[in-house]
Structure 1
């Protein structure tokens, strides 16, 4: 792969997905795109880039998907899900007693382990949520991972990563070497394709937003813009959950840490934090907006 090929891929991925690759990530590009090139009948990345430049839109979409499909597993990092069970959901059950509904958005949901972990958490509340309308919206840039998530079928390896054995027995059915989530849990999750760089206000407002282990790949301006837009999607007493290596500190005033709950944040409704603050979309976002 030539330096110019790598620069072309860096620019394309930044514009299409927000992925901000540093100059030393050629090895990552090669590990993910060489197999894709061969599957497409091409000798290597230079030929892949050449075909993309000639207007092969379907191939370009495959390249973006290959580079943005990230690792996931059930109840990843455990702590945010403990917070959900012990603090967040009980507080929302009280606060939403009149309307008896909860909306949760799982952004960058990948192959489904995270939204289904949330669904199982809610199911464990049993009678406390009986008769409630609970809605989990799972979104991802990749249609391929959304299709896998919809099926709710996981390998032995996948169910062994983070999933408590009692939940495996309770909510899954074994078919040969695979495990399928019960229809009742699958039905709790709606799947939609979505690029976080584009407008997502049409999704409506949520009580909880999981946006974990995705913003670490974006530059500071893009992170600030997404945080600002996420804050408008949350109820005033809603909760944002970020990944273990992510934080709003030094990036945005739209959120403040949830007291004594690591990885959780609340919308910052203080007038000084919101009034008069305009965060311009970074160039990639403005380009997307102008092209729509």
Structure 2
């Protein structure tokens, strides 16, 4: 791939999705975009880039973005955030919301669905306690391909073996041939929706818990800051914000403070604290 083609694609992806590609990611562009070029009988990625330059259309741009934003996921990834969800967040919020009996959770980068389904399993553990409650998980992603897989809830043997205990597999999935399918009682907690984090308006909804794990690392600094501000505007004052284990808000935002001894878990800084900061 020529440097010019790389720069063109990198700029296109940054504008459309916030994805920031370093100069060493040419191989990734080649491997992910080559199937699109073949499907359109364009032969190679160079001709695909030429087509994008000369005759860009929404469908082709969407296909390129989709190919580059489909990221790996697996059940109960990193384990700790789900322990925090069950042991820290849910008990506190169930006490705080005991009158309204409403809980709203947002998985901002749901990928192929393993994260929201993992959270739904944690909710199922408390199904008896949550009787009479309105609890929902909004699972969003920019990738239509990933989101369609998430909606279907069909996973290979390899996928369910990654992080999913056998007990939970047998409890929440049905085997169909060589695949495992999520049971309806687990799906009932989740609503899937296509969403580009860079296009969300502030305050579009209010959530008690926001999971935004392992996605900001792909954005440039400007994209990270804009996204964090929007997420902060959508979090309830006493809500919880969850980042990936290797991610940090240091130097990006003063809207959140890390919880002591709870890696990756953040709370909103109060207006009074912001004024005195």
Alpha-carbon distance in structure 1 between the residues aligned to 2:149 and 2:111: 9
Answering whether residue 29 of structure 2 is matched by residue 12 of structure 1, we say no
Report what 2:256 is aligned to: 255
Q: Secondary structure at the match of 1:167?
A: helix
Report what 2:105 is aligned to: 104
Q: Secondary structure at the match of 1:126?
A: coil
Aligned length: 276
- Preserved CA contact (<8 Å) 2:70 2:145: no
Superposition pairs of residues 39-50 of structure 1, within 5 angstroms:
39-50=39-50
Report what 2:51 is aligned to: 51
Normalised to the residue count of structure 2, the TM-score between the two structures is 0.96
What's the CA shift string for 1:250-289, capped at 9, x where partnerless? 21101110121111101111434268x9xxxxxxxxxxxx
Alpha-carbon distance in structure 2 between the residues aligned to 1:268 and 1:225: 17
What's the CA shift string for 1:132-188, capped at 9, x where partnerless? 111100111111211111111111111111111111011111111111111111121
1:176 to 1:72, Cα distance in 2 relative to 1, 3 A: same
Alpha-carbon distance in structure 2 between the residues aligned to 1:92 and 1:205: 14
- Preserved CA contact (<8 Å) 2:203 2:230: no
Report what 2:36 is aligned to: 36
Q: Secondary structure at the match of 2:5?
A: helix
- Preserved CA contact (<8 Å) 2:221 2:252: yes
- Preserved CA contact (<8 Å) 2:108 2:140: yes
Alpha-carbon distance in structure 1 between the residues aligned to 2:275 and 2:69: 32
Superposition pairs of residues 196-211 of structure 1, within 5 angstroms:
196-201=197-202, 203-211=204-212
Normalised to the residue count of structure 1, the TM-score between the two structures is 0.91
1:190 to 1:222, Cα distance in 2 relative to 1, 3 A: same
Report what 2:134 is aligned to: 133
Range with greater deviation from structure 2 (195-204 or 49-58): 195-204
1:149 to 1:274, Cα distance in 2 relative to 1, 3 A: farther
TM-superposed CA distance for 1:126, in Å, is 2.7
- Preserved CA contact (<8 Å) 1:254 1:274: no
